[in-house]
Amino acid sequence: MTNLPNTQLNLRYRTRNTDTETALAQLPEGADVDETVLGTAFLVSPYASFILDWQGTILVCNRRAERSFCPPNIQDSENLRGASFCELTTLENAEVLLLLRKGAAAGHASLPMLPRAPGKPSEKAPFRVSLLRSATRGERLILLTQDQLKPTAEALTKMNLRRGELLKEVHNLKDDNHRLHEILLSMEAFAHAASHDLRTPINTLLGSLQFFGERYNENLPETAQEFLKVMMRAAHQMESLTAELLDHSVSTSAQIQFQEVEVSTALDEACADIRSELDACDGTIRITGDPKFQIHADPALLRLVLTNILSNAIKFRAPTRALEVDIEIQGSGKQYWSLSIKDNGVGFDPAESTRIFLPFHRANHDVEGTGIGLSTCAEICRRHNWIFTADSKPGNGAVFTVTFGVK
């Protein structure tokens, strides 16, 4: 076993010597080719190499050239020696010689080589071209070495150019994103100011209409009473819209005050917020699972999410049955927890399950609403890195699920 490596080295050395002797025998007498260089550099080179005579006949080629360029019509790679180099290309001999002699002056040439497999397109192979002295007056030997560095350098150049283009695009996208962020902030600030400033006159209008109705309603004609009801309903819609716009602007721009919050506390507060509406429609709420776990969140925003979902269940309840809301909590330890709120209301088309989170999008136009509540929930969940999903079948209620991790 210890003699095996030496045996392999000796075999390779003898094979190299045999190849060198064979190659030297193929070269014309007086060729300017050193035996040592031929054996150690040319024949064992990792790049395909040829020595041609002045007429383009292959005198010597190394094994890499045989493996890379021996065409299908030449069964024995040994037959490359003595063949015309044009047989390896798609060109005529005169065209090949013209390219080689021009390439000798330039130091390089690209030649369209025949494909190794039928049906494949030909590809241009770059070669370095050098001239060697020959014993024949007026002629030279042509040394061709496949240039692997040139295509690599060209590929790297293209890659660097593309990288520069991508960096420029990224820079432009960052600038666009910065401008969009500034626009968004200004729009949110405007929405917050507008909704906040509108609440006072709207409340004044509501109070005035309510006072007018209580004081003078009996003395008004029937048509005026109907107009008064329309104005009251419109004023309530305006008050609801400005309140939800204010909540939405807070959910998108207000700084989140993170702290440890027990989910059971947030649920109790949310249920208290909608208690009067729930009692008015004889609805019930059932909770399954253990809500006594803590999460890292803003308590006011968590409460707003739960209140909006529960209010949504009341708003879109089915008129033919009493409202039932099931709150299911799943999870344990420090794994992800999920809180699902399921109702037996009118539901919505499953195709709307993502669009209902867009501002002002309403999946059901038969029920009055602003289309902002769920958008506010989605934005709060996004800023907390929670997952907020919705699922439903028309007539079978809806399920809203918030998935969050425990710190």
Domain segments of the chain as ranges: 19-147, 160-252, 255-407
Tell me phi and psi for residue 347, to 5 degrees. Answer: 70, -170
* H and E: helices and strands count for the chain: 10, 12
Q: Nearest to residue 39, comparing CAs of 58, 22, 26?
A: 22
Question: What are the pLDDT digits (tens) for 223-279?
Answer: 888 888 888 888 777 777 777 666 766 666 667 888 988 889 999 999 999 999 999
Question: CB–CB of 57/79 below 8 Å?
Answer: no
Question: Which CATH number is 160-252 given?
Answer: 1.10.287
For the whole model, what pTM was predicted?
0.49
User: Is pLDDT of 1 > 50?
Assistant: no
| pLDDT tens, residue by residue, 232-242 | 888 777 777 77
Residue 299, CB half-sphere, CA atoms under 13 Å: how many? 12
State the Cα–Cα distance between residues 143 and 62, nearest whole angstrom.
12
Which has more confidence, 316 or 247? 316
Residue closest to 32 by CA, chosen among 116, 130, 125, 141: 141
Least confident of 48-62, 240-254, 354-368: 240-254
What class has domain 255-407?
alpha beta
Same topology between domain 160-252 and domain 255-407? no
Residues β-bridged to residue 339? 329, 402
Class for domain 19-147, per CATH? alpha beta
Q: Is 82 left (phi over 0), alpha (psi -120 to 50) or beta?
A: left
Residue bearing tokens 């109070």: 207
d(CA 378, CA 356): 10
Cβ atoms of residues 195 and 249 within 8 Å: yes
Exposed, middle or buried, 330 (CB in 10 Å: 0-12/13-18/19+)?
middle
Is the predicted pLDDT of residue 6 greater than 60, yes or no? no
For the stretch 118-143, pLDDT in tens is 667 778 889 989 888 776 666 788 88
pLDDT at 4: 42
